[in-house]
Structure 1
Amino acid sequence: MFYRNKRPWYADYILIILGTALMAVAINSVFDTAGMVTGGFSGVAIIVKEWTKGLVGDGIPLWVTNFGLNIPLFFIGMKVGGFEFVRKAVTGEAFLSLWLAVLPAFNLAGDDLLLAAVYGGVIQGAGIGLVFLGRGTTGGTDMMAALLQRKMRHYSIAQIMQVIDALVVLVGMYVFGVQKALYAIIAVFLVTKVSDGLIEGLKFSKQTYIITEKPEEIAQMIMKELDRGVTGIHGKGMYSGQDKMLLYCVVDRKEIVTLKERVDAIDPKAFVIVSDAREVHGEGFIEKKA
């Protein structure tokens, strides 16, 4: 697990390098070979390559279009926000274009569009997640959206990005057909889910609220048998009008079954609420390095 604080300066660059390599594999060996456009400048590059086939050999290489589209954005970004505004994007874009240029292209999914959507979505999502964990970006539509948002304050960057990417996908639909565009939507969904999972943390836990008439006994069981902390929250039952103690604790996924069984054994009438905790920092979970 890479920590956001107290990690070596070069860790960010390692994450960006690995992340952009995975992104290039997805773009070169899955989306391009399948004719699947998922938005962004990489999607524009796939469209341009298809349009220029026969005019320029097998078409303008992906890395040329991808890098070329970002150059004017970098200059505009430096003029508007200074070098710091584009520094991380330049790093990510440089590595992505390099990988697109040097990595060989393989047809990983064959002619199966569903496999292409799944493989491409997972691989690119993992790559984007690693780049973001390395505090970087790859320029493209996110930088364009950030620049446009300075002139369109009533829209968020996310909203502008969605419109830009949607337009790219629509053009891809015109070039490659409706069927491939529909599969591209599956890929976009997977990219978002996988990248979010990496960014928010892979160590999922369970948070539990317990309403019981025996808070002391259950709290002692959690602390002694499960070796987990528990917090008591004073509450009031609005139907009964009685004061109650609400117990709150976070446990590992494999411990939740034991917790529910032990709570039922102590108080069969206990009311237990369980939900996901995406990322937990602290003793016993993701511990912060000093």
Structure 2
Amino acid sequence: MGKLIFSWINIFVGCTIMAAGFVFFINPYNIVPGGVYGASIVLHNLFPSIQVGTFGYMFDIPLMILSVLLLGSKLGGRTIAAALSTPFIMNAISYLSYPTEEALHALDPTQLLGGTMDMTDHLMLTTLIGAAVIGIGQGIVVRQQATTGGSDIVAMILQKYAHIKFSNAILLVDGVVVCFGLVVIGFGVGGTEDVSQPSWHLSFYSLIAIFVTSRVLARVINGEKNDKLIFVISSKSLVDLHNYIIEDLDRTATCIKSSGLYTKEDKEMLFLVVSYKEVAGLKTKIKEADPNAFVVVTDAYDTFGEGWKQLPSKNELQPE
């Protein structure tokens, strides 16, 4: 029960972080970071009286139905909660952040929190911060086997049925939305009045935002992925190294009997996985045990088993 409650709290925390990223760093500058809310920003340029979060509802409801049908009832329930709460939180923060109705409709950054959050002259900085904050929020939600709706749902469907990595699917779907933003905002179909630079330049910031969001999202979901796979081949008995691995590193390894192809001599080969922080100490210990040992260190993309992650169940969605 405690884990379930903590999971739901994380969902709403992630939604709040994501909504704040949009309201403070993305929406006021017509940056279109793909997905439902990117499309909503574009439509807000056409219909300023309708808030970005409200447009989010218009997209999310049919996509939630697809989520329930294609991704399972458990995920559907969590996704419904996340997808319904995110637009509400976004609209609530927006109403609290702008002093007048006119400023809210215009999403005027000079009046955002009394002008203290105006980053009009720092579009690259606001793009990077906003994209990172959105990626963190999305990642927290997706780690709970939920989505924030929109492109998250489309990406999970593509992952499940087209076998495309989640972050790559996000990148693909969001690229389509950026093209929509380029037509409406960049080529003047919408009502944007950005005088600091040509509006089509915003599409480049949008692409940067999409890339940063997808990388931060993958990092939050999967962690650092810095595990290292090590092979040690030696003609000596590596008893001291065995003890170091078991006692000092508190890990285990697989000892494989082998022989040299040229010398035909019997050799010992150790196979083990360690964190990147443990590699330096292990190299030193290997040199002490056998300075002539043959050692291979390479990246371990994913590690499952005792002391590492559990293998996923058949119906469990893996975001990456």
Q: Pick the TM interval, shorter chain.
A: 0.7 to 0.9
Measured against aligned partners, the alpha-carbon deviations of 1:235-262 in whole angstroms (never above 9, x if no partner) come to 4444545443221233343332121122
Alpha-carbon separation, structure 2, partners of 1:244 and 1:89: 54
Measured against aligned partners, the alpha-carbon deviations of 1:202-247 in whole angstroms (never above 9, x if no partner) come to 5844332222223523223333444432221334444545443221
The residue that corresponds to 2:196 in the other structure is none
Whether contact under 8 Å (2:236, 2:267) holds in the other structure is no
Alpha-carbon separation, structure 1, partners of 2:214 and 2:144: 17
Alpha-carbon separation, structure 2, partners of 1:149 and 1:208: 31
Tell which deviates more after alignment, 197-206 or 113-122. 197-206
Whether contact under 8 Å (1:200, 1:279) holds in the other structure is no
Secondary structure of 1:8's counterpart equals helix
The residue that corresponds to 2:28 in the other structure is 33
- TM-score w.r.t. length of structure 1: 0.78
Change (3 A) 1:226 1:127: same
Secondary structure of 2:64's counterpart equals helix
- For residue 172 of structure 1, the aligned residue among 159, 176, 181 is 181
Alpha-carbon separation, structure 2, partners of 1:33 and 1:213: 66
The residue that corresponds to 1:211 in the other structure is 233
- For residue 118 of structure 1, the aligned residue among 112, 124, 128 is 128
Alpha-carbon separation, structure 2, partners of 1:180 and 1:35: 7
Number of residues paired by the alignment? 275
Whether contact under 8 Å (2:233, 2:294) holds in the other structure is yes
The residue that corresponds to 1:256 in the other structure is 279
The residue that corresponds to 1:194 in the other structure is 216
Change (3 A) 1:14 1:281: farther
The residue that corresponds to 1:234 in the other structure is 257
The residue that corresponds to 1:3 in the other structure is none
Question: What residue identity is the alignment partner of 1:263?
Answer: I
Secondary structure of 2:268's counterpart equals strand
Tell which deviates more after alignment, 37-46 or 79-88. 79-88
- TM-score w.r.t. length of structure 2: 0.72
Question: What residue identity is the alignment partner of 2:208?
Answer: I
Question: What residue identity is the alignment partner of 2:236?
Answer: K
Between the two proteins, what is the percent identity of the paired residues? 27
Change (3 A) 1:34 1:87: same
Q: Alpha-carbon deviation of 1:93?
A: 0.4
Alpha-carbon separation, structure 2, partners of 1:252 and 1:149: 28
Tell which deviates more after alignment, 270-279 or 24-33. 270-279
Secondary structure of 2:121's counterpart equals coil
Secondary structure of 1:210's counterpart equals strand
- For residue 98 of structure 1, the aligned residue among 66, 88, 93 is 88
Alpha-carbon separation, structure 2, partners of 1:160 and 1:206: 27
Question: What residue identity is the alignment partner of 2:45?
Answer: E
Tell which deviates more after alignment, 179-188 or 8-17. 179-188
Alpha-carbon separation, structure 1, partners of 2:60 and 2:16: 18
1:12 aligns with 2:7: yes
Change (3 A) 1:75 1:263: closer
Alpha-carbon separation, structure 1, partners of 2:157 and 2:272: 43
Whether contact under 8 Å (2:53, 2:88) holds in the other structure is yes
Secondary structure of 2:251's counterpart equals coil
Alpha-carbon separation, structure 1, partners of 2:119 and 2:43: 22
Change (3 A) 1:82 1:219: closer
Whether contact under 8 Å (1:30, 1:108) holds in the other structure is no
Alpha-carbon separation, structure 1, partners of 2:207 and 2:265: 52
Question: What residue identity is the alignment partner of 1:193?
Answer: R
Alpha-carbon separation, structure 1, partners of 2:163 and 2:213: 23
Q: Alpha-carbon deviation of 1:128?
A: 1.0
Whether contact under 8 Å (2:225, 2:301) holds in the other structure is yes
Change (3 A) 1:246 1:186: farther
Question: What residue identity is the alignment partner of 2:55?
Answer: T
The residue that corresponds to 1:223 in the other structure is 246
Question: What residue identity is the alignment partner of 1:27?
Answer: F
Question: What residue identity is the alignment partner of 1:273?
Answer: V
RMSD between aligned residues: 3.5
Whether contact under 8 Å (1:204, 1:279) holds in the other structure is no
Change (3 A) 1:219 1:90: same
- For residue 291 of structure 2, the aligned residue among 262, 265, 268 is 268
Whether contact under 8 Å (1:20, 1:95) holds in the other structure is yes
